[in-house]
Amino acid sequence: MSRQWLFTRDALRTRAALLEDGCLLEYYEELCVGAIRRGSIYAGIARDVAPAIEAAFVEVAPGEKVFLQQDTPDALPQTGERVMVQIAQAARRTKAPRASRELKLPGRFVVLMVGADHVGVSRRITDTARREALRAALQQQAEQFKAEGLDQEFGVIVRSRAASEDLSVMEAELRSLLRACLRIQERFASEQQARGSLPVCLHEELLLPLRLLRDRVMATDQVLIDAKDLFDEATALLGELRATLGACVSDLPASLEFSAEGPAPLFERAGVEDQLREAAERQVMLPGGGSIVIDFTEALIAIDVNSGSSAGGDSLEATAFQTNSEAAVAVARQLRLRNIAGLVIVDFIEMRDPAHNEELMHIFTEALSDDPARIRLLPLDELGLAKLTRKKQ
């Protein structure tokens, strides 16, 4: 099984695609200009404060406001007050970006949580002994930082890819993130003293392909980039990661490939454009002749499974099981490919045999397990409905 990451950039947007044996699994794009990037940190100015809804709109760039929700009216900033916020959620449709005053700085193996006081370990790390070892090591490291005179409360989340990485790598990354945090806070303090009336970006999150390189790309993945400036930036980031994490780090790609040659752009040569056009269709055909139909509403995403011309079994029950099994794999791929978030209801074809229903949910669970997004799947109900929630990746 070979995995490829494809990265490209033009004047309008950056794009990324993940392929496995030529099959498109994930696709992302991001505007190059004017977008307020999730994860960026600003010294913003509170402009519209609404105690009735415990919220405020904070200006983070000229003409750009983000929505800041607080727990109580007392926690709200005053109108005109400079406040440090981080973009927690990008703009969606008519909704403004959402911001938070709880800062998080992500690394490849750990996430630094400013102001927190605990060490959490990803649920995807299931080995109990390893979880405890990671928690103990990071707690000990936090105590050491405090003994060195670091005047900063912080917590840590250990990411899933740290499951087999050397502890010294995580300690080195945590130290680097703390230094970055202190620089951000020092700059914010300087902006407060300057008493300026304009918002300032204190920390800009990485571009989409660079975030994926930091967070997702594995040592065995092939990375192809067809924009020279993006290739140079990615190569520089890879070098920075190696310098920060030290010689012990094992989970980094050895190199990147610049792939600009060919009669067509990289995404066309790899078949990404054709697969994207297929993925945009409301109806997705299944190998056996059935199909799934995907409908979006304000409240949820409904996916209907149809048998169509499927006749793979020797009975209605067998045909339903085969179609449902194919649909489970197809639904998992479409959720990941379209980056669908929110409440999803899948209407499988009704089956009478409890063993078939149990096996179907096993197939569905296995198909969803490769998705990096957080998913909560409920048991199949008596109507043949499978309900799940998925967090946008």
180 assigned to some structural domain: no
Q: Is residue 217 part of a domain?
A: no
Q: Tell me which of 12-16, 278-282, 288-292 is least confident.
A: 278-282
What is the mean predicted confidence (pLDDT) over 70-80?
Answer: 92
The answer on 368 and 291 residing in a single domain is: yes
- Shared-domain flag, residues 20 and 79: no
**For 38-58, how does the pLDDT look when each residue is reduced to its tens digit (9 = 90+)?**
999 999 999 999 999 999 999
Token pair 């697969």 is found at: 275
CATH of the domain at 82: 2.40.50.140
Which residue has 């109580």 as its token pair? Answer: 72
Q: Which residues of 191-219 are buried (b: 16+ CB within 10 A; e: fewer)?
A: beeeeeeebbebbebbbbbbbbbbebbee
Do 335 and 242 have their domain in common? no
Residues 14 and 94 grouped into a single domain:
no
127 within some domain: no
Last residue of a domain, one of 84, 100, 116: 100
The confidence band for 228, taking pLDDT boundaries of 50, 70 and 90, is: very high
Domain boundary among 257, 277, 297: 277
Asked if the model's pLDDT at residue 312 lies above 70, the reply is no
Shared-domain flag, residues 227 and 268:
yes
pLDDT surpassing 90 at residue 85:
yes
Give the pLDDT band of residue 255 (cuts 50, 70, 90): confident
Same-domain check for residues 32 and 78: no
* pLDDT value at 310 more than 80: no
pLDDT in tens, 147-166: 787 767 889 999 999 988 88
CA distance 103 to 272: 36
Q: What is the mean pLDDT of residues 229-253?
A: 89
The answer to whether residue 378 scores a pLDDT higher than 90 is yes
Does a structural domain hold residue 210? no
Confidence of residue 278 (pLDDT cuts 50, 70, 90): confident
**DSSP single-letter state for residue 161:** G
- Any domain includes 167: no
* DSSP assigned state of 384: S
**By the 8 A CB rule, do 178 and 152 touch?**
yes
CA distance 175 to 169: 10
| Residue 327 shares a structural domain with residue 375 | yes
- Separation between Cα atoms, residue 75 and residue 158, nearest integer Å: 29
Q: What is the mean pLDDT of residues 170-185?
A: 93
Residues spanned by the domain of 89: 41-100
Q: Which of 100, 117, 138 is the last residue of a domain?
A: 100
In a domain, 87, yes or no: yes
* 371 and 352, same domain (yes or no): yes
- What CA–CA distances, in Å, run from 364 to 243, 332, 333? 41, 7, 11
Handedness of CA 93, 217, 16, 295 (dihedral sign): negative
The reply to whether 365 and 301 lie within a common domain is yes
Same domain, 303 and 259: no
In a domain, 262, yes or no: yes
Mean pLDDT, residues 261-285 taken together: 88
Angle separating helix axes 354-368 and 316-337, nearest 10 degrees: 20
Mean pLDDT to the nearest integer, 102-118: 93
Average pLDDT of the segment spanning 347-355 = 92
309 and 375 housed in the same domain: yes
Q: With pLDDT > 70 as the criterion, what percentage of the chain qualifies?
A: 98
**CA gyration radius, the chain:** 24
Q: Please count the structural domains in the chain.
A: 3
For the cut 70, the answer to whether the pLDDT of residue 276 exceeds it is yes
Closest by alpha carbon to 96, among 65, 70, 71? 65
Half-sphere exposure of 191 (CA within 13 A, CB side): 20
- Residues 99 and 38: their CA atoms lie apart, in Å, by 9
The answer on 51 and 28 residing in a single domain is no
**Mind listing the pLDDT tens digit for each residue in 178-205?**
999 999 999 999 988 887 778 999 999 9
CA-based end-to-end distance of the chain: 23
Decide if 343 is inside a domain: yes
Distance between CA 68 and CA 322 in Å, rounded?
48
**DSSP letter, residue 348:** P
Question: 392 falls in which pLDDT band (50, 70, 90)?
Answer: confident
Q: Give me the pLDDT at residue 186, please.
A: 93
Rounded to the nearest integer, the mean pLDDT of the chain is: 90
Q: Quickly list DSSP for 344-389.
A: EEEEPPP-S-HHHHHHHHHHHHHHHTT--S-EEEPPP-TTSEEEEE
Question: SS3 helix, strand, coil % of the chain, rounded to 5?
Answer: 35, 30, 35
